[in-house]
Chains A and B, each alone.
Chain A
Amino acid sequence: MATYLEFIQQNEERDGVRFSWNVWPSSRLEATRMVVPLACLLTPLKERPDLPPVQYEPVLCSRPTCKAVLNPLCQVDYRAKLWACNFCFQRNQFPPAYAGISEVNQPAELMPQFSTIEYVIQRGPQSPLIFLYVVDTCLEEDDLQALKESLQMSLSLLPPDALVGLITFGRMVQVHELSCEGISKSYVFRGTKDLTAKQIQDMLGLSKPAMPMQQARPPQPQEHPFVSSRFLQPIQKIDMNLTDLLGELQRDPWPVTQGKRPLRSTGVALSIAVGLLEGTFPNTGARIMLFTGGPPTQGPGMVVGDELKIPIRSWHDIEKDNARFMKKATKHYEMLANRTAANGHCIDIYACALDQTGLLEMKCCTNLTGGHMVMGDSFNTSLFKQTFQRIFSKDFNGDFRMAFGATLEVKTSRELKIAGAIGPCVSLNVKGPCVSENELGVGGTSQWKICGLDPTSTLGIYFEVVNQHNAPIPQGGRGAIQFVTQYQHSSTQKRIRVTTIARNWADAQSQLRHIEAAFDQEAAAVLMARLGVFRAESEEGPDVLRWLDRQLIRLCQKFGQYNKEDPTSFRLSDSFSLYPQFMFHLRRSPFLQVFNNSPDESSYYRHHFARQDLTQSLIMIQPILYSYSFHGPPEPVLLDSSSILADRILLMDTFFQIVIYLGETIAQWQKARYQDMPEYENFKHLLQAPLDDAQEILQARFPMPRYINTEHGGSQARFLLSKVNPSQTHNNLYAWGQETGAPILTDDVSLQVFMDHLKKLAVSSAC
């Protein structure tokens, strides 16, 4: 099996793709019996330091319905200078530029190691990146100060030719004009009035010049900056101005009386931001960055009223249909998100407040446009500051790790159809022969728009095997899938990345072992989890859990080895062995459990789950636990209450939190300040080790996780206790007082109980 693991890893590194099945069942019927759908996690812009982009355009299949890109899987007739499309079998002439090719003189796209290749398109205008800051001013003084500093800092990180704009909001919305000398100008809008895009553009005076520009745009892209020069300016020109402007930003001056929330017009502010970009830079990479410190309290998109005595909606309210603003607000933000997506812009939300800020309602803004969602307690925390700074991090080439306005197109060979995608994308509604009727996730299309993406953005793409059982595929036949991602690189180039992969077909009846062995349980767990989370957005929590359980039971029935009605005989092969455990933790995860989470938190967790790559997703599902002790080097340990020992330091990474937990004894030692005594230097080192490791994780992670340093009995220890498998609880006190771990006060079932049940159900012939 090591070979498969290597294969999978290799493929992931090269193509950024992980399939749930690496050998594909050759018939539709068999495929459905596999329980876990044929699907893959695709990281379209996976960083490939070894992959220099080629400076020409891809060669396309000439069949209008196909247009697949020439790839290493194509058969090439070097003499006739012909190539056969491996998707539609169309024979195509090479373009004249390829006249010199031969077996020894192949273009890169034909070499097998270039199954993923990136083209740079030289045509077309290059438009600068656009960053539009939308800043809440209803903040506490120190919060605002911190935010201002972060924003000022960010100016230095932007590329000098990037266009920036500034909108501030509180009770009113102000669009700041950046080009003025001597006096700072801003256009002010009422925060309660819903304005159409046209009205906004009229009021900003954008409509008049926009008309001629629209026609003139293609030939004269240079005129662009002038159109909107007042509100969006090259950073190099107005750096000082904007820095001063940000420095002078005041808190929203309107008085907030006792017992009221400040009036915050987030809905209108966002609407204006969207309208502004829509009118000036449609289909150009742009980032709307919303910084908000509380829930929208007025106007369209309001989430809660300004009466403090009425709290913001909770899951409880939502279940009881008691969240009176939710539907309307969600509709407002959905409308905005769709417009934004249609324009190819993306929206980031940086929400920092102790209470909820309405992420539940606003989530679609980020989810549909590929923007970031960051949630923190305050702008004055390193969590926000560093996360925000990381937005502007650069890759090995010195380019920003962000791309805009991407279109992902998927092509499949005939035996496959596309069922859908789950990730930060919207459907482009391109129907085609390879689009399945059955939808999984966002379906009914072969193309999706991803307005903002970074090297880790990952989509789950689901397929359906449509080959009929009675039309077997010849031995050695391979199915192929091509992913074509066109996007605007952060260097403002237009690029196309093409990944073509192929997998073997196998007859599920005769070659089940092959298929089984090629199961990627990690990918499968994440893909199933995405499906589950996707469902959870629209369905009741218990239904999703039941569905997940049924799928798991069916999978165990299909691939487990057991004697009927004999739970003890149940075995799973190595390639499946971890899968039930993933499912166990998934069921307990905040993605599916809303208990103890606010609606905002749930939205936040789900947002990240739907866009992170496989490794991160797995961490989210099943946090990693490391143990540090004097007994040996740090080691990963079971995410189990039995791992909580008095003389250990634990480091847990849940993706969203990094928890360092000092066992009881260690904590006492630390209190006794042994670490300061030279003779106990090793203790000092022990204490330091998890901190260093945590630091390492913190450095790499986006968004910055919450960093929690706690100890046995500490209040923050709950972060750890809620995650570990409750193998010891107050209900099974057999280990009480022993050194084997700490009991968790919970009624949740432990993994043991879960597995016992699973086995029982799997072997039962009843279902």
Chain B
Amino acid sequence: MSQQGYVATPPYSQSQPGIGLSAPHYGHYGDPSHAASLPGVMKPPGPLGAAAPGAMLPPLPPGPQQFGQNGAHASSAPGPPPHRFAGPAPVGNVASAYQPSAQPSYPSPMSTPPVVQLGGQLGAMQLDSHGPGAGPTGPAAFQGPPLPAAPSILQPGPRVLPPPPTALNGPGAPPLAAGAAFPPQAAGYGPQMGAPASYPGGLPAGPARMAGPQPPKQLDPDAVPSPIQVIESDRAARGGQVYATNTRGQVPPLVTTDCVIQDQGHASPRYIRCTTYCFPSSSDLAKQAQVPLAAVLQPFATPPADETPLYLVNHGENGPVRCNRCKAYMCPFMQFIEGGRRYQCGFCNCVNDVPTFYFQHLDHLGRRLDHYEKPELSLGSYEYVATLDYCRKNKPPNPPAFIFMINVSYSNIKSGLVKLICEELKTLLEQLPREEQEETSAVRVGFITYHTVLHFFNVKSNLAQPQMMVVTDVGEVFVPLLDGLLVSYQESQSVIHNLLDQIPGMFADSSESEAVFAPVVQAGMEALKAADCPGKLFIFHSSLPTAEAPGKLKNRDDKRLLNTDKEKVLFQPQTSVYESLAKDCVAHGCSVTLFLFPSQYVDVASLGLVPLLTGGTLYKYSNFQSTAHTRRPRVSMFKARPPSGRVVVLGCQHGSQTASDLMHVDSQQFLHDLRGDIEKKIGFDAIMRVRTSTGFRATDFFGGVFMNNTTDVEMAALDCDKAVTVEFKHDDRLSEDSGALIQCAVLYTTVGGQRRLRIHNLGLSCSSQLADLYKSCETDALVNFFAKSAFKAVLHQPVKVIREILVNQTAHMLACYRKNCASPSAASQDAVIGTVQLASSAALLANGRMTRNLKRREDLPKEEDTQLSSLLLILPDSMKILPVYMNSLLKSCVLLGRPDTPTDERAFQRQLVMTMGVADSQLFFYPQLLPIHTLDVKSTALPAAIRCSESRLSEGGVFLLANGLNMFLWLGVSSPPELIQGIFNVPSLAHVNTDMTQLPEVGSPHSQQLRMLMGIVQRKRPYSMKLTIVKQREQPEAAFRQLLVEDRGLHGGSSYVDFLCCVHKEICQLLS
């Protein structure tokens, strides 16, 4: 497994020895040619460790050159960690570094630029700084001057900041920090390099520090490509329309665009979304472009109600028609010949006989007469009824079972969690998933409670009362009963209710605080095994399993490992028990969904492995709140509370009033998740196979999957929210005529116990022109792929290396485009839509909409001018917003550990992303920020989102921010009181209680509209988002601001523009 991911690939694993080389190649295509083109970069790292510091220290003039080189190597440098990012560092850092020296000259640039062009200039300046850095050519003269100019200009800009004179002080930066930071800079390079140095921040620079470098950032944020604008324009262009999948290789609308998708021979993008819809025809080309070829498969994605559900094809005992050689299923890519007697497989080109039962004549176009009658001939997605050959042991499968396993240790009883679960289950069990045509659900249910021992419950319908069976042998756990553990809810309803009523009381006097975990999973799996059915375990767990049993864990959380080579250990499971357990689970079709309620470290990396590998879901509710009146501060971060911190007990929104007297403050979130998880569309005991036409093949799979061999993706269960990302590689040349075909077949058991095959077919085009490739890229899918591959790699490599590789690959992709598809001159002339040019001395073209001449062009030295062409940053239209997403990915807490981020949270997020679909990953990496104060009360549509940057907020506004996990309602200090009144029913901002996790049900239109809005945002998201009310300038704001991904991170991580600069610099290096 490990050999296929990032790790295997040279970039991550080998980056240490020779970063320049490997990093850009990213392992997907270990292409030496590329390396050759970048001699500078290629340089062995040897000098680096030693050289880097040395290079920095010497006097300025030689600096830049050194610097550039240094930068190139830096990422690979085994040298001291702080210098790791020397490469990128120049971006933000160099700029600032140069400032002091440049200062003298700074008035002059100042004078020239008109105010209007400030933004552009700033951008230019920053880029300037890169230019020299990037190329060995960069003279000493360079950018020095421009830089200083920038800050001064910036300040008047969007920022509301006091002292303009001290240009050096970052706008937001506390004076002290600035003061401290800069003088030394002026004095010399030394301190600079050490600290905020690196761009994306692996460095633990504090907020204050970050602010320091910020001032030099001169690029106008409005000048850089805006995700919001891209999303909105796609929405405007294609939203609400019908998108017919009738053409091979057409790029679908963005995930954020709502439209009706009509299956006309290719699978809907809801099921398969590719990173590019045009594959390069040869592997050389692919290596050159460095664009990952991948598809994000979400085979069970729920189509909206206005799209047709999948057709079910039943060939009776004959079973599906398949190619004899490659076993691909009958699909629109099969070409019928010889009057319909034979057909040629589109995947392997094998000519097969048409089975007699399937024969049909062809029409004059060579199409079968029944082309439109048979879904498998005309549609991209459909289902087959599987025959017994497709079943385990050739027996029809039993309907699946759900087993609810509740940790009844002391804390859970005391917190009322157990009671909450039991109460909720009573109503939830009415909603078990069922086949559309069935009256009742075939799913059987079972109940197990546990702490250090396991309690099984016999709830057979003929019993007067449930029976409890205690299994204490946790070392070798087994299922003590056969009959009565798994029952039909309808039949055993009264016994089950009796049991659920009793459970909370039964353990009321238990003082057991420890718990086991692996034996619990084992028990559930054994139970399903004994019942010979697939199923799902719902485990409600809260603590580190420290009790003596297999899978016992110890607290190994260690913040000191952050930013060390050993950091990866934190993401790895503590013992191999869980992996083998998960393997067993998969083998028996047992999916595990884990609800975690940790109050401290529970080792999500270990516990989460089971749900991850078994196609289950992990839900985590840190510091799950006990009853409202005993509430403690949620997280240390959120300590600040209004003195009047009275907690409003909220009513049940969802109509179940059962536990309202004991309502947990966090319980709605949890109950919502639980409800969603029980009800969602799911297939069990699944095996997925991705077949491709000749010339390329699926090589790597990312997601909640388990693989025994290289082709069969086994999943104990697969639900509508789970996506598997598949990477493809070339075997051979692809024909531009036949294109690249993908067939994803999932064999699974339905909730009704039917064995079925779900087939998705997708055809992509092929081209020998790189331009075609870049034209057809899909940024959201790319980010999904990058995120998954990077998050997979954190298990094996230091996050720093991974970050570097990500940056490098981004740069590589863009550089390749820059080099091959968009000549600098062309770029400016063409102004091709979708090409963003970002150049120091020439122009900045974004969407062809905005062009700005940078006045300082003439200030540039001659040499620089000649380099002009290489200084343009040109982004292909399809990847315009890739940098902002990549930057957000780089800043995610998984890749950027901070001491205040709990290790569990990082492991949790890592795991979430691993199974995310494109829509979810898009939201996760670019949260939705909605202005609430400007809402038109009458409108029911979502307001236009705004960019995730603090500069877009206003003190007088109220904003809603959501990333799929959390939702924040940000209240500006001077938010309109009538809005506050409308939403919270309190007279002023000061009265708003930030403890609430749900908005009060106020009858006002504001409240109703906001809540409706939140409903829309929440809709179709796999996780119920936790609502936090944030008041501007109060402490919890930090968590909120963390999600403003275009900004510089509070604890590290560069801002969007800084990142652009950094990437640009990289590109320049690559190009030179």
Residues of A within 8 A of B (CB): 172, 174, 177, 180, 182-190, 193, 202-205, 248, 250, 253-255
Assess A183 versus B478: contact at CB under 8 Å? Given A188-B456, A189-B473, A203-B472.
Answer: no
Query: B468 near A186 (CB under 8 angstroms)?
Result: yes
Query: B471 near A188 (CB under 8 angstroms)?
Result: yes
A190 to B465 CA separation, bound complex (whole angstroms): 24
Assess A184 versus B481: contact at CB under 8 Å? Given A189-B473, A203-B473, A204-B472.
Answer: no
User: Can you identify 8 A-B contacts, CB atoms within 8 angstroms?
Assistant: A174-B480, A184-B465, A187-B469, A188-B471, A189-B473, A202-B472, A204-B472, A253-B481
Q: Which residue of B lies closest to A180 (CB)?
A: B468
A187 to B467 CA separation, bound complex (whole angstroms): 11
How far in angstroms is the closest Cβ of chain B from A265? 12
Q: Quick check: is B369 within 8 A (CB to CB) of the other chain?
A: no
Instruction: State which of B471, B472, B481, B499 has its C-beta within 8 Å of the C-beta of A183.
Output: B499
Query: A190 near B473 (CB under 8 angstroms)?
Result: yes
A250 to B478 CA separation, bound complex (whole angstroms): 19
A23 to B499 CA separation, bound complex (whole angstroms): 74
Query: A253 near B483 (CB under 8 angstroms)?
Result: yes
> Restricting to B479-515, which residues have a CB under 8 Å from any CB of A?
480-484, 499, 502, 506
Q: Quick check: is B661 within 8 A (CB to CB) of the other chain?
A: no
How far in angstroms is the closest Cβ of chain B from A275? 13
Assess A182 versus B502: contact at CB under 8 Å? Given A172-B480, A254-B482.
Answer: yes
Q: Quick check: is B312 within 8 A (CB to CB) of the other chain?
A: no
> Restricting to B414-461, which residues have a CB under 8 Å from any CB of A?
453, 455-456
Q: Which residue of B lies closest to A171 (CB)?
A: B482
How far in angstroms is the closest Cβ of chain B from A299? 12
Residues of chain A with a CB closer than 8 A to B453's CB? 203
How far in angstroms is the closest Cβ of chain B from A243? 13
Q: Mark B518-542, 1 if CB is under 8 A from A, else 0.
A: 0000000000000000000000000
Instruction: State which of A183, A190, A204 has its C-beta within 8 Å of the C-beta of B468.
Output: A183
Query: B463 near A185 (CB under 8 angstroms)?
Result: no
Query: B506 near A187 (CB under 8 angstroms)?
Result: no
Residues of chain B with a CB closer than 8 A to A255's CB? 482
How far in angstroms is the closest Cβ of chain A from B317? 28
Residues of chain B with a CB closer than 8 A to A250's CB? 483
Assess A188 versus B465: contact at CB under 8 Å? Given A183-B502, A253-B483.
Answer: no
Other A-B contacts than A184-B465, A204-B472, 18 sampled, CB-CB below 8 A, are A172-B480, A172-B481, A174-B469, A183-B468, A183-B506, A187-B471, A188-B456, A188-B469, A188-B471, A189-B471, A189-B472, A189-B473, A190-B473, A205-B472, A250-B483, A253-B482, A253-B484, A254-B482
Assess A183 versus B482: contact at CB under 8 Å? Given A188-B456, A193-B476, A204-B472.
Answer: no
A203 to B465 CA separation, bound complex (whole angstroms): 25
A248 to B466 CA separation, bound complex (whole angstroms): 11
Residues of chain B with a CB closer than 8 A to A202's CB? 472
Q: How large is the interface on B (under 10, 10 to 19, 20 to 34, 35 or more residues)?
A: 20 to 34
Residues of chain B with a CB closer than 8 A to A182's CB? 465, 502, 506
Query: A248 near B463 (CB under 8 angstroms)?
Result: yes
> Restricting to B208-232, which residues have a CB under 8 Å from any CB of A?
none
How far in angstroms is the closest Cβ of chain A from B960? 47
Query: B469 near A183 (CB under 8 angstroms)?
Result: no
Residues of chain A with a CB closer than 8 A to B464's CB? 248
Residues of chain A with a CB closer than 8 A to B463's CB? 248
How far in angstroms is the closest Cβ of chain B from A397? 41
Q: Per DSSP, are chain A's interface residues mostly helix, strand or loop, or mixed?
A: mixed
Query: A187 near B470 (CB under 8 angstroms)?
Result: yes
Residues of chain B with a CB closer than 8 A to A183's CB? 465-468, 499, 502, 506
Residues of chain A with a CB closer than 8 A to B499's CB? 183
Instruction: State which of A172, A186, A193, A204 has its C-beta within 8 Å of the C-beta of B467.
Output: A186
A431 to B1025 CA separation, bound complex (whole angstroms): 80
A711 to B470 CA separation, bound complex (whole angstroms): 55
Q: Which residue of A lies closest to B478 (CB)?
A: A190
* Residue among B464, B470, B506 with the highest chain A CB neighbour number at 10 A: B470
A-B pairs with lowest CB-CB distance, top 10: A188-B480, A203-B472, A253-B483, A187-B470, A185-B468, A253-B482, A188-B469, A184-B467, A190-B478, A188-B471
* Residue among B465, B480, B483 with the highest chain A CB neighbour number at 10 A: B480
Residues of chain A with a CB closer than 8 A to B484's CB? 253
Residues of chain A with a CB closer than 8 A to B478's CB? 172, 190
A250 to B476 CA separation, bound complex (whole angstroms): 25
Residues of chain B with a CB closer than 8 A to A177's CB? 470
Query: A190 near B472 (CB under 8 angstroms)?
Result: no
How far in angstroms is the closest Cβ of chain A from B520? 15
* Residue among A180, A187, A255 with the highest chain B CB neighbour number at 10 A: A187
How far in angstroms is the closest Cβ of chain A from B528? 16
How far in angstroms is the closest Cβ of chain A from B503? 9
A202 to B482 CA separation, bound complex (whole angstroms): 25
How far in angstroms is the closest Cβ of chain A from B539? 20
Residues of chain A with a CB closer than 8 A to B471's CB? 187-189
A527 to B466 CA separation, bound complex (whole angstroms): 56
A189 to B469 CA separation, bound complex (whole angstroms): 10
How far in angstroms is the closest Cβ of chain B from A195? 8
A185 to B476 CA separation, bound complex (whole angstroms): 20
Instruction: State which of A188, A193, A254 has its C-beta within 8 Å of the C-beta of B470.
Output: A188
A219 to B954 CA separation, bound complex (whole angstroms): 79
A730 to B63 CA separation, bound complex (whole angstroms): 126
How far in angstroms is the closest Cβ of chain A from B469? 5
Query: B469 near A186 (CB under 8 angstroms)?
Result: yes
A180 to B469 CA separation, bound complex (whole angstroms): 12
Q: Which residue of A lies closest to B458 (CB)?
A: A184
Query: B468 near A184 (CB under 8 angstroms)?
Result: yes
How far in angstroms is the closest Cβ of chain B from A247? 10
How far in angstroms is the closest Cβ of chain B from A665? 57
A248 to B462 CA separation, bound complex (whole angstroms): 10
A204 to B476 CA separation, bound complex (whole angstroms): 15
> Restricting to B954-1009, which residues have a CB under 8 Å from any CB of A?
none
Residues of chain B with a CB closer than 8 A to A180's CB? 468
How far in angstroms is the closest Cβ of chain A from B408? 13
A255 to B473 CA separation, bound complex (whole angstroms): 23
How far in angstroms is the closest Cβ of chain A from B533? 15
A182 to B506 CA separation, bound complex (whole angstroms): 9
Residues of chain A with a CB closer than 8 A to B473's CB? 189-190, 193, 203
Residues of chain B with a CB closer than 8 A to A254's CB? 482
Q: Which residue of B lies closest to A188 (CB)?
A: B480
How far in angstroms is the closest Cβ of chain B from A396? 43
Q: Which residue of B lies closest to A185 (CB)?
A: B468
A204 to B473 CA separation, bound complex (whole angstroms): 10
> Restricting to B755-813, which residues have a CB under 8 Å from any CB of A?
none
Q: Which residue of A lies closest to B485 (CB)?
A: A253
Residues of chain A with a CB closer than 8 A to B502's CB? 182-183
Residues of chain A with a CB closer than 8 A to B466's CB? 183
Residues of chain A with a CB closer than 8 A to B482's CB? 253-255
A622 to B481 CA separation, bound complex (whole angstroms): 51
* Residue among B463, B476, B481 with the highest chain A CB neighbour number at 10 A: B481
A253 to B468 CA separation, bound complex (whole angstroms): 16
Q: Which residue of A lies closest to B472 (CB)?
A: A203
Q: Which residue of A lies closest to B466 (CB)?
A: A183
Q: Which residue of A lies closest to B505 (CB)?
A: A182
Residues of chain A with a CB closer than 8 A to B476's CB? 190, 193
Residues of chain A with a CB closer than 8 A to B456's CB? 188
How far in angstroms is the closest Cβ of chain B from A144? 15
Residues of chain B with a CB closer than 8 A to A189's CB? 471-473
A248 to B499 CA separation, bound complex (whole angstroms): 17
A204 to B453 CA separation, bound complex (whole angstroms): 10
Residues of chain A with a CB closer than 8 A to B468's CB? 180, 183-186
Residues of chain A with a CB closer than 8 A to B455's CB? 185
Q: Which residue of B lies closest to A190 (CB)?
A: B478
A254 to B530 CA separation, bound complex (whole angstroms): 9
Q: Which residue of B lies closest to A205 (CB)?
A: B472
A189 to B471 CA separation, bound complex (whole angstroms): 6
A426 to B179 CA separation, bound complex (whole angstroms): 94
How far in angstroms is the closest Cβ of chain B from A303? 22
How far in angstroms is the closest Cβ of chain A from B451? 12
* Residue among B463, B471, B484, B502 with the highest chain A CB neighbour number at 10 A: B471
